Structure 1
C-alpha cells in the first residue's frame, strides 16, 4: 500500500513539473488517501500486536 502511495506521489510530482495540473492534483489526492489508509492499517496492526502479546 505504501508503495502505491509513493508511486502516485512520483506521478504527481512529474506531472506537476510538466505542467499537467489536473493529473498532478488527482495523483496527489490518491497518494494522500492511500497513505492515510496505510497509517490506519499500521496503527491497527500495532494495537493488535500489543494486545496479543499481552495475552501471552
Structure 2
C-alpha cells in the first residue's frame, strides 16, 4: 500500500483551490476580509495575535 503525502499549501493557495474569495472565506469564519488578507500575507502578524482575541 502506497501512502500519499498531503501537499502543503499556504492559506491563500487553499482558498483559491476551493474557489473562494477573501470575503467569502472571511465571512464563513467570522473575520473581516482585511484581517484574512493580513493573515495571508504576514504569518507573523497572525502569530502575534493575543489568544483572547481569537476566541
TM-score, normalized by the shorter chain, greater than 0.5: no
TM bucket (normalised to shorter chain) is under 0.3
Question: More relative contact order in 1 or in 2 (CA 8 Å, sep 6+)?
Answer: 1
Query: Under a length normalisation based on structure 2, what TM-score does the superposition of the two structures give?
Result: 0.25
**More helix per residue:** 1
Q: Which has the larger radius of gyration?
A: 1
Query: Under a length normalisation based on structure 1, what TM-score does the superposition of the two structures give?
Result: 0.25
